Amino acid sequence: MAKTGKRMSSALENFDRDKDYSLDEAVSAVKGAATAKFDETIEVVLNLNVDPRHADQMVRGVVSLPHGTGRSVRVAVFAKDAKADEAREAGADVVGAEDLADQIQKGEIDFDRCIATPDMMPVVGRLGKILGPRGMMPNPKLGTVTPDVAGAVTATKAGQVEYRVEKAGIIHAGVGKASFSEEQIQENVRTLVDAVLKAKPQAVKGTYMKRATLSSTMGPGVRMDPQSFTAA
C-alpha cells in the first residue's frame, strides 16, 4: 500500500472521508487542503447512473462557468480567408487550413481546443483518429463547428468547459483554482452540475447523479451530497 504524504495526512485530519458534505463545506475543506506551492486546480467528479456504451445514454456538452476556470486555454481554428482573420482577431492561438492539418498529422498539437468552420470539416474529418481520442474533434453539438468562429474562440477563452461522461459513467471537470474565493468555486460547481442535470438522457431511470466529489490537484477528494446543491 502506498504511503500517505505529510500534506495529505494533514488534510485528511480535517474531515471525514466517509461523510457526504454540503457544497459549501466541501469547498471550504478542499481550499483548506490546497497548500501546494502552486495554484492548484479544483476539480469536480460526478458519478452518473448512465452507461455511455449506449448512444441514448451519452452525456456530453459545454458550459460557460461564471468565473472561468483560471486556466489559459490555447485554441486552434480551422478557417480560411475572412473567417481566419476573425479567429485571429478574437484571440485564436493557431489558425490554418490544410497547413494546420499537416502539422497535426506530424504530431504538432500545440493547443487544447479545436474549432472549425463548416466548410473546413472535409479537411478536419481526416484527423478524426488523432483528435478524437484526445477529445478535440470539432463537433456541431458542442459549438465547435460553427461559422461564428470569433464567438466560439471568445467563449472558450472566457472559461467554457467541455464535459463528457467516461466509460465508468464519470465526468471530470476543472471548476477553478485554489486562489478562487469559496463563492466563486461554489457558483462554478453549481453551473456545471446544472448543465449536466439538464443533459440527463431520457433513457435514464431512477437516480441520475449518484455521487459527487471535489478535490484539488494535490489534495484528497471530499465527498459531497448532490442533494445539497442540485435542489437549488
Top pLDDT among 84 and 5 is at 84
CA dist., res. 35 & res. 16, Å (int): 19
Residue 81, pLDDT above cutoff 90 = yes
Which helix or strand (DSSP H or E) is residue 96 part of? strand 94-96
Which residues are registered as beta bridge partners of 160? 64
Give the distance from CA 215 to its chain's centroid: 14
pTM, entire model: 0.80
**How many other CB atoms are there within 10 angstroms of residue 16's CB atom?**
11
Residue extent(s) of CATH 3.40.50.790 domains in the chain: 75-157
CA dist., res. 134 & res. 10, Å (int): 35
Q: What is the pLDDT of residues 144-163, one digit of tens each?
A: 999 999 999 999 998 888 89
Residue 232's pLDDT is 46
Q: What is the pLDDT of residues 109-144, one digit of tens each?
A: 999 999 999 999 999 999 999 999 888 999 998 899
Residue extent(s) of CATH 3.30.190.20 domains in the chain: 6-69+160-230
The architecture CATH gives domain 6-69+160-230: 2-Layer Sandwich (3.30)
Q: What is the pLDDT of residues 173-222, one digit of tens each?
A: 999 999 999 999 999 999 999 999 999 999 888 889 999 999 999 988 99
Just give the CATH number of 75-157: 3.40.50.790
Residue 206's pLDDT is 86
**What average pLDDT does the chain have?**
89
Please give the order of strands across the beta sheet that includes 170-177.
170-177, 41-48, 209-216, 222-224
Cα dist from 181 to 28, 123, 214, 223, whole Å? 10, 43, 15, 20
Residue 71's pLDDT is 84
CA dist., res. 88 & res. 149, Å (int): 10
